[in-house]
A and B are shown apart, each in its own frame.
Chain A
């Protein structure tokens, strides 16, 4: 009996070790060509760099120019900002609020490029049969948002547009997964969010946006940021990255069906949801310009005025105009 038990445990342990060694093997990265310069790019599933990654052209073109591109996936903008601050990431694709918060906390980063907006897919969600028909109806209601993200900015802008004060609604700070349960169970009356979650909730929860970024002016733009010292010394590399991602964005706009298929398997979302997300946005990538800096400055100002940031920030001081 003892013997059987011993053999059994040994077999389980051996299997365990075997699988763990296989796992170790999987995590080893290709050593790569040592003559190439490594460039580490942080991205989130479904964003602009994700498109460059799945298309595959970007890595090839960069290799021809002498760069070895490593894509690192992140789950949220805050983690990406930490990695950027510590110099573990050279370029990062983020939304419009994480860089502002990072700048306020003293991270040395520089805006390199601006992507497209998600204005039609960002806004305040309500159930279709809800009593909230227009923005002013939000008065006295419970609205879910996530602190420090675009959704908080969206909500602040929406209240301003509606002529309501910040105290007219109950602010419910929830992470997106907790918010989805709370929203579906009716514990909150509305939910400030952005695509693809908005598209998903619209379809699965019979909901609609009562306001989107076009009205509120919270455009939810993408940015590429880089550590300040790195950006200073790598201007030509930054230009290359903008040029090649721009080409990939054109490809994305012209190859919707391919993009939707790939995205729906990678993000594990139904095609219907991904299609809605993709069709209502235009992918783009461009150098920074004065108008876009003004947009970003507005976020910094609103966040400062509402005590979300403790420091005033001048976005133009942290921007590289590469054109």
Chain B
């Protein structure tokens, strides 16, 4: 399972396919204000990424994956919209 709640932090890990968007949405709705830990995420589906962009939860730990860290993260969390 790549989406989990641990100590009030939404942990997103590994490869998150489109099916996990719903799981993330539930997690975001049920834990308003909680941070996300992306350190173990390797691949996010656009459906998952656009939820993060819409909710903009605080990022507790950045992904180690280069594309996610250098390209996606700034794009998702920049207030450019």
A interacts with B: no
